[in-house]
């Protein structure tokens, strides 16, 4: 499977993603500069974490206008896989490839910590290697990670099983006490109607090797690799 990783001015998790895909999963991967108007021959595009354009205006608001985003939109429309991690999730929402928005954490502070998320559905190219209800330990690092959307959008996400992961405790209990940023319904990751675009606030690339304290992020990448065959 061929991967492309978008690089914006301010991206800081692009190399982490590259390392995991190339060195851990031994997959062909290359960088795609934000000014590129085409993606080339890739199956899955990763919009990585970081601070694209310094998060001026608001996170992802400028990056959405980069030429590469038009190519990503076309890729997604054609059924190609797209995953946005942290700042990438923010960018996908700003580009209207995913509904809703990521706003300031309710504590108004940047959070960098390991959290637990519960897999809500395995019916997606991004969670099919998991078990429904499986708890993953994955780190977060964001200041604007609180997911917000209108009530009708939340209702639609619930009804269509498009909430892929929620913040929980280590036993899988979803409560406000373990919601690190104030996201509505403890939402940590969602997909689009076509189920081929995924936005995730936690960083699976930072939890794909035992040396880093958790390998749970591997389930996301393993799902993508397995889903390439299942969801074609």
State the catalytic residue, choosing from 13, 17, 44, 86. Answer: 86
With CA atoms as reference, report the closest residue to 93 among 223, 198, 175. Answer: 198
Residue 180 and residue 111 in contact, taking contact as beta carbons nearer than 8 Å: yes
Burial code (b: 16+ CB inside 10 Å, e: under 16) for 168-205 equals: beeeeebeeebbbbbbbebbbbbbbeebbbbbbbbbbb
**Whole-number Å distance between alpha carbons of 6 and 54:** 16
Quick one: which H or E segment has residue 47? strand 44-47
93 C-beta neighbours (distance < 10 Å), count:
23
Q: Is 193 a residue of the active site?
A: no
State the catalytic residue, choosing from 94, 120, 144, 205. Answer: 205
Backbone angles phi and psi of 5, in degrees to 5? -115, 120
Strand-pair category, 111-119 with 44-47:
unpaired
Q: Is 86 a residue of the active site?
A: yes
Q: Is 205 a residue of the active site?
A: yes
Active site residues per annotation: 86, 203, 205
């Amino acid at each position: 499977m061929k991967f492309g990783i978008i690089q914006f001015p301010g991206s800081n998790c692009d190399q982490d993603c590259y390392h995991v895909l190339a060195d851990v999963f031994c997959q062909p991967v290359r960088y795609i500069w934000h000014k590129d108007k085409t993606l080339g021959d890739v199956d899955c595009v990763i919009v990585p974490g970081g601070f694209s354009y310094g998060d001026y205006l608001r996170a992802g608001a400028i990056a959405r206008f980069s030429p590469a985003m038009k190519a990503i939109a076309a890729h997604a429309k054609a059924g190609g896989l797209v995953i946005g991690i942290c700042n990438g999730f923010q960018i996908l929402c700003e580009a209207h490839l995913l509904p809703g928005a990521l706003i300031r954490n309710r504590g108004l502070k940047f959070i960098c910590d390991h959290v637990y998320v519960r897999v809500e559905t395995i019916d997606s190219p991004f969670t099919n290697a998991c078990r429904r209800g499986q708890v993953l330990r994955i780190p977060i690092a964001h200041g604007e990670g609180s997911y917000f959307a209108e009530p009708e959008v939340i209702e639609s996400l619930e009804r269509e099983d498009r909430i892929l992961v929620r913040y929980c405790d280590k036993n899988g209990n979803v409560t406000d006490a373990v919601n690190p940023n104030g996201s509505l319904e403890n939402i940590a990751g969602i997909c689009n109607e076509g189920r081929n675009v995924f936005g995730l606030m936690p960083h699976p690339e930072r939890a794909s090797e035992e040396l880093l304290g958790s390998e749970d992020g591997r389930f996301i990448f393993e799902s993508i690799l397995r889903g390439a065959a299942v969801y074609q």
